[in-house]
Amino acid sequence: MSFKNIVVLVSGGGTNLQALIDAEKRGELGNGKITCVISSKADAYALTRAEENNIKTRVLVRKEYSDIASYSKAMCDALIEEKADLIVYAGFMTILDENVCDAFENKMINVHPALIPSFCGKGFYGLHVHECALEKGVKVSGATVHFVTAECDAGPIILQKAVAVEEGDTPESLQKRIMQEAEWKILPKAVQLFCDDKITVEDGKTIISE
């Protein structure tokens, strides 16, 4: 089984990146190794986490490109340069166009802080997802790891984990519990499954062999 270069895309604090770094240190990313972290923001704390762990960093600021197409082209070139076998969106808040999705079909995964198909799609990111879940009054939310396709949050689902909503939850407390109990567990697990060639996609659905 071949060794895989993992490139992680970030925009913010990078706690999901940290979960991946910790999993790699414990030997839990299978054949994968995090070889580069690319941020859409120059001041993302995720970059510090990468540097502290001697992982190469690159910054591609969205605002420095006139449109999504030129940003996507620059990202695609960077991913090819980094010889990415797997690309992980870990709190990456910029949408890339279908050219990138096609170039890396079934090689890009995203963690979303809700149980897709609830509270997902364009505009549903970060704390806002949890505000909407509480507004609706759901009793269960959670996280989803899925392959990235041109349609936002609509690609084949790899793993999901449910988390109970508690009386008195705020968007912040729900976000924290979903990160701790779901995101930081299922994202490294999905990366491990991918790197060990245990995920196949058929008819828009994944089949996982363990």
Binding site for ligand GAR (CB under 6 A): 12-16, 46, 90-91, 111-113, 125-126, 129, 179, 183
Active site residue 112: yes
**Cβ proximity to ligand GAR, 46 vs 96, nearer residue:** 46
Residue 41: how many CA atoms within 13 Å on its side-chain side? 14
CA angle 141, 147, 151 (to 5 degrees): 85
How many other β-carbons are positioned within 10 Å of the β-carbon of residue 208? 12
Marked catalytic residue, from 112, 128, 130, 146 = 112
The pair of three-digit structure tokens given for residue 10, joined into one six-digit string: 């970030």
Smallest distance from ligand GAR to CB 129, Å: 6
Assign 158 to helix, strand or coil.
strand
**Cβ proximity to ligand GAR, 23 vs 90, nearer residue:** 90
Maximum C-alpha span of the chain: 48
Q: How far apart are CA 84 and CA 108, in angstroms?
A: 10
Smallest distance from ligand GAR to CB 86, Å: 17
Tell me the residue nearest to ligand GAR as measured from the CB.
Answer: 91
**Cβ proximity to ligand GAR, 31 vs 160, nearer residue:** 160
Smallest distance from ligand GAR to CB 70, Å: 22
Would you please indicate which residues are annotated as catalytic (active-site) residues? 112
